[in-house]
Amino acid sequence: MEYYGVVGLVLAVLVWIWLAMVMKHIRVKLGHQLPPGPRCWPVVGNIFQLGLSPPHESFTILSRRHGPIMTLWLGSMCTVVVSSCEAARDMFKNNDAALAGRKVYEAMKGNHNHGSEGSLITSQYDAHWRMLRRLSTTEFFVTSRLDAMQGVRAKCIDRMVHLIDEAAAESSNCAVDVGKFFFLMAFNLIGNLIFSKDLLDPEMERGARFYYHAIKVMKYAGKPNVADFFPILKWLDPQGIRRNTQFHVERAFEIAGWFIKQRMENDIVGNGNSKDFLDVLLQFRGDGVSGPYSFTSRTINVVVFEMFTAGTDTTTSTLEWAMAELLHNPRTLSKVQMELRSKISSDRKMEEKDIESLPYLKAVIKETLRLHPPLPFLVPHMAMDSCMIGDYFIPKETQILVNVWAIGRDPKVWDAPLLFWPERFMQPNMVDYKGHHFEYIPFGSGRRMCPALPLASRVLPLALGSLLNSFDWILSDGLKPEEMDMTEGMGITLRKAVPLKVIPVPYKGSPVAAAAAAVAGE
């Protein structure tokens, strides 16, 4: 045992010295042109200088001292953090192609190092990725298809309203976990868009198992993994993150594969815009080589799974934060409910066509995305080639993190940046989130911008507006708005550390209240 202890100590010292020499060599080779950053320690780099705060907060504090373009060493991983709109503009306008790569973490690499194969999120920027991106913009999120599937979105949101109403009916003071209902709505919405099914249905046992494995993947993939920072540990997988993540990915693939097989055997394919996303994917199924759109069954599985993981957590995070901020700011809540109830008659539900006549509701969504972007660093970029951002050299394979959380709270850009004030988005010529205004890029910008933006811009206001129009909301246990816990947690997305639990009271003028009264009369 003593022998192995000595050997381990010697190996640790050798690794320490080797990494220190590598870092020194890079700095000398580049002529000290890397962006400035805190002095790093051998082996661990700057990891222990990040403190106990969530990374986006720690990086923001460090950027105030070292500048809006900053170098950090996370173990041996060279990371450049972009924390200003000027630096983001330079990155996306002048270096978009060079920085369009993806930093793929160990959890998502798969059992054979091909975890990013067919992935719209983690594939490197190449011809295959461009094909998938083109398919998503011309087939999935094109206006005509989104219009055709308007009824699907309405059905899922109506179901959410109904379930919350049922929960409220159980007790007059029953507080509900609104984040849970948002997640179930988003998950079923994606299930309907892809498979034309409510996967979280009492009779859909496979859907429940798919949900379980998807949740597990998001849990493991959101954990910091020492194997990402110290490559020598990759083969050990000391935390079991890669092993556990891939176990649940493969189980989810098996279930998705069953749905795909059923569709192929039954040969049930819709026509025109009525086709769901699986119909579109199967239309282009092939050997992955021939034809402009051609990919394997594995690629279909990857795309399907990514839609669930990317679409559910981000939607849930944004809607839960919107509700929390409104309850934390009662005057704003009253104002948006007044707008809703003055524009939507009491004898009908909110519909997508109402969104354009509800500017304050849209401003609430925009302000929520400014303060609480669901992905505070976007999805990590990687330099495919060396380039310059401003006066600084960015080496090939450097990880690039765009701190959109910090950019959205920059006092040089935003008045009263920590204040939840939707009115700022009611001003003429205000910025939008389409990737052209670099002080506000919650969905990213450039080639790797989120392709589902057209879908999100419909779902978010409709889901939030439906709940605000159908219910009045009361904080539980006599909690006052100023006493709410608004702490941020961190996983794959920026969720509330403490789930929002609140009492829904059916609004007396809403269809929900009318239905409840009819049931009570019976």
- Cα(178)–Cα(174) distance, integer angstroms: 12
Name all contacts of 480-485 with Cβ < 8 Å and 24+ positions apart: 481/327, 481/328, 481/329, 481/330, 482/328, 484/324, 484/327, 484/328
User: Cα-flanking dihedrals φ and ψ of residue 176, to 5°?
Assistant: -110, 150
3-state secondary structure of 8: helix
CB 471 within 8 A of CB 333: no
Annotated binding site for heme: 450
- Cα(103)–Cα(417) distance, integer angstroms: 30
CB 303 within 8 A of CB 288: no
Instruction: Give the pairing type, strands 399-402 and 381-382.
Output: antiparallel
Residues 6+ apart with CB under 8 A from 172: none
Q: How many other C-beta atoms can be found within 10 angstroms of the C-beta atom of residue 484? A: 17
Instruction: Report DSSP letters for 152-215, one per residue.
Output: HHHHHHHHHHHHHHHHHHH-TT--EEHHHHHHHHHHHHHHHHHHSS-SSSTT-HHHHHHHHHHH
Count CA atoms within 13 Å of residue 245 on its CB side: 24
CB 369 within 8 A of CB 376: no
Running DSSP on this structure, what letter comes out for residue 510? Answer: S
Per 3-state DSSP, the chain is made up of helix, strand and coil in percentages (nearest 5) of 55, 10, 35
3-state secondary structure of 504: strand
Residues 6+ apart with CB under 8 A from 77: 45, 228, 229, 399
CB 513 within 8 A of CB 507: yes
3-state secondary structure of 123: coil
User: Cα-flanking dihedrals φ and ψ of residue 103, to 5°?
Assistant: -85, 110
In this structure, is the dihedral angle defined by the CA atoms of residues 88, 373, 352 and 198, taken in order, positive or negative?
A: positive
- Cα(420)–Cα(371) distance, integer angstroms: 8
Q: How many other C-beta atoms can be found within 10 angstroms of the C-beta atom of residue 56? A: 22
Annotated binding site: 450
Q: Record the tokens describing residue 134, joined without a space.
A: 């083109």
Instruction: Give the CA distances from residue 303 to residues 193, 318, 426, in Å, rounded to whole numbers and listed in that order.
Output: 13, 22, 37
Q: Which of 216, 157, 163 is nearest to 188 (CA)?
A: 157
